[in-house]
Structure 1
């Protein structure tokens, strides 16, 4: 026998289904009229909402009542005038990102970064090496980060391009969101056990990856590694890293080296700037869906490549391209 039986009637003790109408009441009795709007329900309809005395409800559209819950969260970064007075300034921080180190939210919706080194007049006039400073922008020209080298005067002027340094990468609130550490090492193929590297932490104290130079004779090569030491990407440089009226490109390759996924380009900044200063312009491109931690490591690789190949003193030495 199927359930329910045909006709909607339940045999035996099953009650008759409700048909949407109230049963008749005895004469003189009724169900009463509903209370007018704005009043509490009659007794027996359950307790009133929590936080209100019996018989009183919050006014429509104001539940819960307004109160002081602390300052509202910061949704947009403050904006300011861009270069030349054009709109721009700092980039807005994307919201709603999960599993992302604080400060790296900017990189979630970016597939290109522009790194501009600040011109230091003292260094340009005297040749005295000062701390490098960089502005990191997106493809729209909006500022993303500000990077400041942390090193002492002795190592800058004695060790030159192979000097050790720390790089503090700050957001527009002057909070350090990425920290780079480059130890003192050689950059010659004669010492394969002591090659260049840089460690990337985001936030500072939490290592997210590293860039390690690989031994090679003709073309520079680097391994991009995750915190576990596994190679995630590779960087392959050109045979000649000397910039002559054109860009110098370092290809970002897959871990097996078969597919190019991006590049780090040292952009030609003009004859006067190239000859008399070591102020450089770089462009970094990578896949949009690349993990933000690896994007931060790509930024660290850019600073390492700049220090190794494009410092003013290094260009004057005119070393052979095989000395890596």
Structure 2
């Protein structure tokens, strides 16, 4: 309502049980100055308060050229914290979110495709794992 961003927090629930908590770790200035481009750290903790996973996204300016590989967002996944197990890399697409899930060597393991619009009022955004065949056809079409 005030357009002042606060740290995001997510609850991960499985079979009606609270399993993990995900909290964003950024300062007020960074969150509000850079908005959706902001760098952040997500900390995943279990119900005992132990940090089991960390996800880090560095700042990347995407204003110069949306299709430029160096301008696309990338998220590093560490589990346990400090031990990189993989990455999530954004791919340029005109109307939808497309990401590659990569291993620790940045080799593509799978692709995930989102809806054309993620701004549905009160609706869920569904992201689909692409089959290998769809993934390979998409690679050839580029």
Q: Same fold (TM over 0.5)?
A: yes
Contact 1:231 1:255 in 2 (8 A): no
Q: How does 1:1-324 map onto structure 2 within 5 Å?
A: 124=1, 126-138=2-14, 140-187=15-62, 189-244=66-121, 246-257=123-134
Match of 1:285 in 2: none
**How far off is 1:257 after superposition?**
2.8
1:181 and 1:214 map into 2 onto residues whose CA distance is 18
Backbone CA RMSD of aligned residues: 1.9
1:142 and 1:207 map into 2 onto residues whose CA distance is 28
User: Under a length normalisation based on structure 2, what TM-score does the superposition of the two structures give?
Assistant: 0.83
Which structure's relative contact order is higher, taking Cα pairs within 8 Å and 6+ residues apart?
Answer: 1
User: Runs of 5+ in structure 2 lacking a partner?
Assistant: 136-142
Q: Which has the larger radius of gyration?
A: 1
1:211 and 1:256 map into 2 onto residues whose CA distance is 20
User: Under a length normalisation based on structure 1, what TM-score does the superposition of the two structures give?
Assistant: 0.38
| 1:168–1:247 CA distance, 2 compared to 1 (3 A) | closer
Q: Matched residue of 2:95: which SS?
A: coil
**How far off is 1:154 after superposition?**
0.8
User: Runs of 5+ in structure 1 lacking a partner?
Assistant: 1-123, 259-324
Structure holding more strand per residue? 2
Q: Matched residue of 1:240: which SS?
A: coil
| 1:229–1:175 CA distance, 2 compared to 1 (3 A) | same
2:48 and 2:85 map into 1 onto residues whose CA distance is 22
